[in-house]
Amino acid sequence: MNRYLSNKKAIGLFLLPALLIYSVVIIYPVLQTVYRSFFNWDGLSTATWNGLSNYRDLLEDPLLITSLRNGLLFALVLAVFQIGLGTVLALACADPRIKGRKLLKTSYFIPVVLSVTVVCQLWIAMYDPTNGLINRLFNLLHIPYQQNWLTSPTVSIIAIAFVNAWQFMGYQFSLLYAGVKSIPEQYMEAATIDGCSKWMAHRKVTIPLMKENYKFCLIVAITSGIGAFVQMLIMTSGGPGTSNYTLTYMIYRYAFMESNYGYACAVSVVLVALSLLATMIINKTFDRNEA
């Protein structure tokens, strides 16, 4: 049996195709990115080594501050909207007395399966200052607030982040709902018998027990916030001006519009480092509470 299962030829045959394509398309490019970030390189001609100077330039690049700030704002909107509201909806929806749960769950998830292009275009129409749904709705409700949602340098980043939050709300909701459902009902019963109200019991019992779910949801929200790109690209091309730039948008611009590949690679390295750092901090924080 042992010889049977350690057939070297078979192992090689099973392993190699996946290993090859994965190494060439994922691992090698990652290493390339790090390596190229130390070069002055336009993507075509020979690269010249310039050590840390890409990183030094980056520190003085005003776009970096804009991008970091936008990334954090984006992440914050995702975290608050998806996790905060998602929790409320998941807890309410888990109540067996609620009618139409299947319909509710299904409808929350529908935006997830849509193409991001459709969602962005739909919201461009909704945000339209004169004909869009949002401003008209405010008008209808006699709320005097009107906004140029996508062209205002202060509001647009929030408006764009909201589109992402809206689309993937159903996804985070499903994760949280699965978390609520996985908690044995006896726990809740015991808490209510001890005199807790339903919401109190949720706060003391359900939510703490969903730590792993929250950890994951938070990692998803924060890393997708830091790396956001598509929504800015489609909805405002990073504008007005450069006010909606994110790190990924910087990479895209420097690499593909200005052919400054070395510099763009340095931005990529910053992006990965930040994502990994955020993941690590979230992991550490959640694990410390355990002790």
Within 10-49, the residues that bind other proteins by CB under 8 A are: 10-11, 13-15, 17-19, 21-22, 24-30, 32-33, 36, 43
Q: Determine which residue in the list 52, 65, 80, 118 makes contact with other proteins, applying CB under 8 A.
A: 118
Q: Determine which residue in the list 52, 65, 80, 98 makes contact with other proteins, applying CB under 8 A.
A: 98
Q: Determine which residue in the list 175, 180, 188, 210 makes contact with other proteins, applying CB under 8 A.
A: 175
Nearer to other proteins, 209 or 272 (CB): 272
CA distance 56 to 270: 12
CA distance 230 to 117: 8
Stretch that binds other proteins, among 52-60, 99-107, 143-151, 187-195 (CB under 8 A): 99-107
Q: Determine which residue in the list 67, 223, 236, 244 makes contact with other proteins, applying CB under 8 A.
A: 223
Size, binding site for other proteins by CB under 8 A:
97
Contacts 24+ apart (CB under 8 A), 227-233: 227/71, 227/271, 227/275, 228/70, 228/71, 228/74, 228/161, 228/164, 230/116, 230/120, 231/116, 231/120, 231/160, 231/161, 231/163, 231/164, 232/160
Does 277 sit near other proteins (CB under 8 A)? no
At residue 41, φ and ψ (nearest 5 deg) are: -150, 130
Does 261 sit near other proteins (CB under 8 A)? yes
Q: Determine which residue in the list 78, 219, 222, 232 makes contact with other proteins, applying CB under 8 A.
A: 219
- Minimum separation from the CB atom of position 33 to other proteins (A): 5
DSSP calls for 167-218: HHHHHHHHHHHHHHHTS-HHHHHHHHHTT--HHHHIIIIIHHHTHHHHHHHH
Residues 6+ apart with CB under 8 A from 15: none
Q: Determine which residue in the list 170, 188, 221, 236 makes contact with other proteins, applying CB under 8 A.
A: 170
x/- string (CB under 8 A) for other proteins, residues 126-145?
x----x-x--x---x-----
**How many CB atoms lie under 10 A from the CB of residue 256?**
12
Q: Determine which residue in the list 52, 56, 84, 121 makes contact with other proteins, applying CB under 8 A.
A: 121
Q: Determine which residue in the list 84, 117, 189, 241 makes contact with other proteins, applying CB under 8 A.
A: 117
